[in-house]
Amino acid sequence: MTTITASDSWFKRTTRSIHIPPVFIFLVVTFLVSGLLDQFYSDGQIFSNPAIMMNIIVRSVALGIVAVGQTLVILGASIDLSVAFTISITAVMSSYIMKGETANVPVALLAVFAIGAIIGLTNGLVITKLKVSPFIATLGVSLIVKGIINATFSNYTGSVPKSFEYFGYGTIGSIPVSIIIMLLVFLAGWFLLARTKFGAHLYGVGGNSEVARLSGVRTDRVLIGAHIICSMTAVLAGIFLVSQMRSGAPWVGPNGLYDLNSIATVVIGGTALSGGKGGVWGTLAGVLIFGILDTTFNQLGVNPYLKMVLRGAIIVLAVASYTIRSKKEAA
Amino acid sequence: MIESDQINTTENTLYTEPLMEVRNISKRFPGVVALDDVSLQFLPGEVHAIVGENGAGKSTLMKIVAGAYTPDAGEIFLSGKKVSFAHPVEAQEKGISIIYQEFNLLPERTVAHNIFLGRESSKLGTLDVRKMNKEAVEVLKDLGVEKMISPTSLVSSLSVAEQQLLEIAKAISFKAKVLIMDEPTAALTYTEVDLLVNLIERLKQKGMAIIFISHRLKEVFDIAEKISVLKDGKLIKTVIKKDVTPSDVVFLMVGRTLDHYFPPLGMPEDFGDVALSVKNASNQILKDINFELRKGEVLGVAGLQGSGRTELAQSLFGVMPFKSGKMELHGKAIAVKTPSRAIKNRMGFVTEDRKSEGLTPRQPIRDNILLTVRSVRALLGLIFKDGVRSSRKLVPMLGQQVDIRTDSYDRETQFLSGGNQQKVVLAKWLASSADVFIFDEPTRGIDVESKAGIHDMIRGLTKKGTAVLMISSELPEIIGMSDRVLVMADHRIAGELPARSSEQEIMLVATGHSNDKNAEQNASAGEE
């Protein structure tokens, strides 16, 4: 018993004195455990091969970009279940409009960002003006988008020009372009939250909407803005995916489980589902944890269904450990 | 108006012009007149306390002044100019700031972010955090608390007192001329209150008009120059502090005869053995609780808001268990660590807030009544529509006993009136056949007729030998019902009074004046 309490207080003291959110410790532990397992039961590439590390991050790019948007809406005490089909509609529409021609790229991008803006605006308006709970509002919008895509496209449609694949496969020096873009999105998310009025107001709306309103914050606008930005990140993720796949398919969003996975990474990252607390760097750690787990399971050849079970268990345990910890701190 | 003219002539201040004035304000809510033709003047550099019982209309008046409600009739003048507010932000911009009873801070944000929420400084569209922190220090310096509170610390890391100071800092950072404090001391300890008193002195010297709402008369007398008493939405009188004593004010607050019939008190032969005894019990909130509750007795628990009344009930019932001390039920030592333990020991708890704790409003009446029965004895874990065989007739029987007015027990409970809902809660606990009952505000917010019914029922329970602990903020109810009265103050039992003690006697103990010899003399003087 004494050793447990001693280590506990040491752990608490260290984390509190240097302000490391628990998710980063969790990230390091995941990496070390995964590496060791890989060392003993597989070829040990996780520790020895930097390329595999890079691969872990590249696999996480689409999820990472959406998760930034999801972080914003969840901080505002909302949620967005429509990101998966927003990704799908982006993927099919952009490759459909591009038809393999570089000249069509600007039109295609303009079109998909416009679609994203409309989806985000609809989500925001339904939530703030019609007072529908965010869960139902975005689920409804998601079903509408799904219906539209499925009625129009059934499989791979159109293609992207060779030049456009730069997003998915290009490198600057030895670093993939996609990683740089993802980091830029995270940086933008951090800037928005920490360094703009919009961010300060979003924390207010999520923390206590009434307090924010009485302080003169236009709460509806802030939340609509967050939803538009969230849909835009989904569009960006869709563009990245289509540039990797070379052609858009309607199932790319739902198959990647981008809706639930983005929510899970945000929560693992320490952002409160009730809003008002958290940030994008925790989400980045959550995304990397997912990437490391995926890669490790692949390295070890874990059965795909068992993979899901393990991933589910890890999510639940991680989040439970935070709440237990924060309860202890409160007591 | 005539009254306020008199005030002006008696007041010896440099300023004769009121900073803010309300004239003939009235406000009704469905079924009640919350404010009836109230006129008041607030002078700069003066602390004006507003006192009154619960429901007297204090908070409604303040919400009107702060722009959260619009009055049905009447006018507000600010420095002689007529104003009206559509939104609290408009009142804030004109220099009226209010600190509400419940905290209005974002716990996960920094002090600076909280102070400047909604009006952050920015440079080229980006937040100027450095400037905000600097200005926050200035605001905190105004209060002289810049050493206690850092602009960059998270609000959740501050103590309750520091959060209260931050609320004040935020309020005056709007360049407030009028500062309204609604029960600012409810959550503070006495040493923290001293800090607040010094602060208010400082704000007074800056020429602000301060409106101070409090139940604690001792503080009202420490802080205020002028005291206005509201009762049932009407202004009873505005008095100058130095001309009156606490008991005068208490008399103005409660001065009326009991307006409602209560059943006769218990006779000495009704009282049996000790059913529940608590010795030296304490937990994180309550300190050193000692009392005995006898069979057949109604033991009233009075005390001001925040004195620990509700917490006492919750501790006894295992919601917030005692951590030390002894508790005996019918002579046997027990430890009630959870509500289900309490129910198994045949204790019943009728909660203060029936919407959140006492009822599941969307469930039928039947299921609500059977809730306690099912939690202690369900047949093999199965639930039957009417409970198990032995309790099949229970619902209609109890429904009749407490007189629930409904066409069907399958109706959702939320559609009943407040009084009828309270009867469902009672029926639920009767079903558990408890023999020690705790009532927390048994008649809050229900109509007079149901009130009388519930009072008769409580007395009916004690006639059968049940022991009843009744917590109430309504003094007439305490006096009308209790065979003995415990008065709580500052999370302790401050004193015990016999049946039919007067409201003044109870209030003096509850406001901490009973230890004060002067106050006692004043009290007897007031009664003469």
Q: Which pLDDT score is estimated for A122?
A: 97
The answer to whether B12 faces chain A, any CB pair under 8 Å, is no
End-to-end CA separation in angstroms for chain A = 20
Q: Nearest-CA distance from A190 to chain B in Å?
A: 12
**How many whole angstroms separate alpha carbon A295 and alpha carbon A38?**
10
Which residues share a beta bridge with B127? B122
Could A203 and B113 be called an inter-chain contact, meaning their C-beta atoms sit closer than 8 Å? yes
**How many whole angstroms separate alpha carbon B156 and alpha carbon B348?**
36
Could B127 and A214 be called an inter-chain contact, meaning their C-beta atoms sit closer than 8 Å? no
Calculate the alpha carbon distances from B525 to B90, B238, B251, B506 in Å. 47, 20, 12, 16
What are the structural domains, with CATH classification, of chain A?
57-325 (1.10.3470)
Position A4 confidence tier, pLDDT thresholds 50, 70, 90: very low
| Interface test with chain A among B127, B133, B182, B320, by most A beta carbons within 10 Å | B127
Total beta-carbon pairs less than 8 A apart between chain A and chain B: 60
Which residues in A lie closer than 8 A to residue B120 (C-beta atoms)?
A: 197, 200
**How many whole angstroms separate alpha carbon B259 and alpha carbon B122?**
59
Q: Nearest-CA distance from B105 to chain A in Å?
A: 7
Q: Nearest-CA distance from B115 to chain A in Å?
A: 9
Judged against a pLDDT cut of 90, whether residue A262 lies above it is answered with yes
Judged against a pLDDT cut of 90, whether residue A144 lies above it is answered with yes
Give the rounded percent of residues in chain B with a pLDDT score beyond 70: 83
| Interface test with chain B among A74, A187, A191, A211, by most B beta carbons within 10 Å | A211
Among B260, B251, B267, B307, which residue's Cα sits nearest to residue B471? B307
Q: Which pLDDT score is estimated for B55?
A: 65
Q: One fold for both B2-95+175-244 and B272-346+434-528?
A: yes
**How many whole angstroms separate alpha carbon B74 and alpha carbon B263?**
42
Q: Nearest-CA distance from B50 to chain A in Å?
A: 24
Residue at B189: amino acid letter: T
The answer to whether B131 faces chain A, any CB pair under 8 Å, is no
Judged against a pLDDT cut of 80, whether residue B8 lies above it is answered with no
The class that CATH gives domain B2-95+175-244 is alpha beta
Q: Please compute the mean of the pLDDT values over residues B281-308 and round it to a whole number.
A: 90
Asked if B185 and B195 count as a contact pair (C-beta separation under 8 A), the reply is: no
Q: Nearest-CA distance from B528 to chain A in Å?
A: 48
Question: Which two structure tokens, joined as six digits, stand for B209?
Answer: 């008009």
Q: pLDDT tens digits for B115-156?
A: 998 888 888 778 888 899 999 999 898 888 888 899 999 998
Could A216 and B107 be called an inter-chain contact, meaning their C-beta atoms sit closer than 8 Å? no
Which residues in B lie closer than 8 A to residue A195 (C-beta atoms)?
A: 126-127, 129
Q: Which pLDDT score is estimated for B238?
A: 92
Could A195 and B129 be called an inter-chain contact, meaning their C-beta atoms sit closer than 8 Å? yes
**How many whole angstroms separate alpha carbon B334 and alpha carbon B345?**
9
**How many whole angstroms separate alpha carbon B287 and alpha carbon B280?**
8
Name the more confident of B378 and B208: B208
**How many whole angstroms separate alpha carbon B156 and alpha carbon B118?**
20
Which residues in A lie closer than 8 A to residue B113 (C-beta atoms)?
A: 200, 203
Out of A208, A212, A277, whose CB is closest to B118? A212
Q: Please compute the mean of the pLDDT values over residues A231-256 and round it to a whole number.
A: 92
Which residues in A lie closer than 8 A to residue B126 (C-beta atoms)?
A: 191, 195-196
Q: Which pLDDT score is estimated for B255?
A: 61
CA A251 to the chain's CA centroid: 18
Q: State pTM to two decimals.
A: 0.71
Could B106 and A200 be called an inter-chain contact, meaning their C-beta atoms sit closer than 8 Å? no
Which residue in A has a C-alpha nearest to residue B66's C-alpha? A214
Which residues in B lie closer than 8 A to residue A200 (C-beta atoms)?
A: 109, 113, 117, 120, 127
**How many whole angstroms separate alpha carbon B424 and alpha carbon B404?**
7
Could A204 and B89 be called an inter-chain contact, meaning their C-beta atoms sit closer than 8 Å? no
Which residues in A lie closer than 8 A to residue B105 (C-beta atoms)?
A: 211
Could B108 and A194 be called an inter-chain contact, meaning their C-beta atoms sit closer than 8 Å? no
Q: pLDDT tens digits for B158-194?
A: 887 888 889 888 888 888 899 999 877 766 666 777 7
Give me the CATH code for the B272-346+434-528 domain, please.
3.40.50.300
Helix (H, G, I), strand (E, B) or coil at B96: strand
Q: Which pLDDT score is estimated for B240?
A: 92
For chain B, positions 462-501, list CB contacts with chain A under 8 A: none
Among A129, A172, A167, which residue's Cα sits nearest to residue A244? A167
Judged against a pLDDT cut of 50, whether residue A159 lies above it is answered with yes
Q: pLDDT tens digits for A46-94?
A: 778 888 888 889 989 999 999 999 999 999 999 999 999 999 999 999 9
Interface of A with B (CB under 8 A): 191, 194-197, 199-201, 203-204, 207-208, 210-212, 214-217, 272, 276-277
Which residues in A lie closer than 8 A to residue B89 (C-beta atoms)?
A: 214-216
Q: What ipTM does the predicted assembly reach?
A: 0.77
Q: Nearest-CA distance from B450 to chain A in Å?
A: 35
Every domain of chain B and the residues it spans: 2-95+175-244, 106-174, 272-346+434-528, 358-433
Q: Any idea which of B3-12, B96-105, B316-325 has the lowest mean pLDDT?
A: B3-12
Could B106 and A196 be called an inter-chain contact, meaning their C-beta atoms sit closer than 8 Å? no
